[in-house]
Each structure stands twice: as C-alpha cells, then as structure tokens.
Amino acid sequence: MTLDSKSFEIQRWHSTKYVKSWITNQEQEEGRRSLRRKLVSLLPFESQASIRVLDLGAGGGALSQEILASFPNACIICQDFSEVMLGHARQHLEKFRDQTTFVRSDLSTIDWAKAISGMFDAVVSCLVMHTVPSRISDIYHEVFSLVKPDGCFLIADSISPTGPMLDKVYLKVRLKTLQAAIKAETGIEKNLEEIELELKERRRSQNIGYPERVRNPLRVMLTLENHMKWLRGAGFDEVDCPWKDMQRAVIMGIKH
C-alpha cells in the first residue's frame, strides 16, 4: 500500500517518534536556525515594539522563540495542525507563557483561520509553505485579511528552480560544498558521484523528506517568481525577496 503526499504529510507530523527525530536532528537544525534568524532580522520593527505576531506552522516553537528573543514585548499566536508539535512548543515556550497562545488548525483547509482572532503586525512562516503547495495562493489571500495596515508577511522557505539546468547547478554547488567539508574533516577528497550517493543514503537512513513515490509534483510550481506573484495577487503592496541563497529564500509582503 502506498501513500499519497498529503496522507504521508499528515501521518508523519502526528507521529511522536518522527517529530522527536525531526526536532533533534542537529544537521537539519543548523540550516533551519540560520533561516529563522535571517527571517527575524528582516522584521521591520523596533526591538522594543509591542507587536502581535502569528507564527504559521509554528512546529516546536523555535521561530517564535527567536522572535521573542529579539522583540521581548511581542505577543505570539503559534498555529500548527500537529498536536504533537504544539506540545513541544508549549514546553519550549513555557517561560513566555504570558506572551504566547497556541491554536491547532490545518492550513490545508479553508477554515484554518476561524480559530484565530484579531489582526497582526506580522505573520511569519518558516519551512511551511512547501508542505501545502496546492493551497499557497489561497493561504496568501487568507493571511492578507489578518495583517494590519503597515504590517507584513514573511515567508522563509525552500524554493524550486525555474528549470532543469538550474536544478543541476544548485545540486553541483551543494555537492562541491560537501566535498570541501569532507576533505577538511577527513583529508579525503571524494568525487561528486560518491558524495551524491552518500547524501541519498543519508537521507534514506534518517527518513528525511518524502519517499520518491509520494513526492508532490506541485512543488515544481514553488519558484520565487510564483511566490511573489501570489503575494501581489493577494493584495500586498510591497513585495520583494530581501534574501536568497540558491534554493532558500525569505520573501516579504507589506500591506499599506
């Protein structure tokens, strides 16, 4: 029996074992941390501002914690569809309990925002939108109605290359980076083919990402250009990509 991509997504994020492995994976966490910090650095507010923030797909609460460290007067609603993840977030953010609220709802459904009241100075998401590719345009419209005038929406996520040649370029750069790291650590210079095979095996053994049979074909639509088009279509007045590193980007929409 095989799973479609949506069923696989739902199943794994409700698994206590998978969520724990995801949170504690230090190799992945290093990259996630740098992306979160880049997003937080781009929030257009003074550090002492009393801002209200909605963290979409808040997961274990790591992005909310980064925001509270930089904006100590912020109040944050953490939204996620996984009660397992929200449980970790409640523990992670216990010392901020007077500034945090937790809402369980599902971005893949049209009524996810019904459990959320009020409007926000900022809505943020980190490594979330690629998990709901068929809903992104609609979510951007739904978020727009939650953003205050002069508020913003920041999305930090992986993005798709615009074609097969760029896909090969990004892969080659990544393999060369790993090649240099392996040589620096071990003194051994492996060829790129060996490194690619090792990378695939590591992903399989760590259960990172989707098995090939359930990869969502809609992800090829998640180019930077499409994200910016969807933000403009939702009504955001200023739309830009203030930071990009190959297939990772922070995309921003400001509402006037």
Same-domain pairing of 108 and 87: yes
pLDDT digits 0-9 by tens, 107-119: 999 999 999 999 9
Least confident of 89-93, 163-167, 197-201, 236-240: 197-201
Cβ atoms 112, 125 nearer than 8 A = no
Kindly state the percentage of the chain with pLDDT values over 90.
65
pLDDT-wise least confident of 66-75, 132-141, 196-205: 196-205
Contacts of 189 (CB under 8 A, 6+ apart): 179, 182, 183
Name the residue with higher pLDDT: 219 or 6.
Answer: 219
- Helix (H) or strand (E) holding 102, with range, is strand 100-104
Pairing type for strands 147-158 and 248-254 reads antiparallel
22 and 80 assigned to the same domain:
yes
Query: Is pLDDT at 195 greater than 90 in this prediction?
Result: no
Quick one: 176 and 108 in the same domain? no
Bridge-partner residues for 103, per DSSP? 79
CA distance 141 to 149: 15
CA distances from 150 to 55, 92, 144, 189 (A): 18, 30, 11, 52
104 plus 198 within the same structural domain: no
What residues form DSSP beta bridges with 125?
Answer: 56, 155
Q: What is the pLDDT of residue 178?
A: 86
Are 198 and 243 in the same domain? no
Site of tokens 């550090």: 47
In terms of domains, do 170 and 134 share one? no
Q: How far is CA 154 from CA 126, 179, 228, 250, in A?
A: 8, 33, 11, 7
User: How far, in Å, CA of 255 to CA of 237, rounded?
Assistant: 5
Alpha carbon separation from 178 to 69, 85, 174 (Å, rounded): 32, 31, 6
Is residue 213 predicted with pLDDT exceeding 70?
A: no
The answer to whether residues 219 and 198 belong to one domain is no
Please report the pLDDT score of residue 209 as a whole number: 47
Cβ(107)–Cβ(135) below 8 Å: yes
Residue type, 243: W
Does 88 share its domain with 174? no
pLDDT of residue 243 exceeding 70? yes
**What residue numbers bound the domain in which 38 lies?**
5-161+215-254
pLDDT the model gives residue 1: 33
Give the total number of structural domains in the chain.
2
| 33 and 106 co-located in one domain | yes
- 19: its two tokens: 């969520």
Q: What average pLDDT does range 70-99 have in this prediction?
A: 95
Structure tokens at 177: 């980076």
pLDDT reported for residue 211: 47
Span 78-102, average pLDDT: 94
Residue 3 reports pLDDT greater than 60:
no
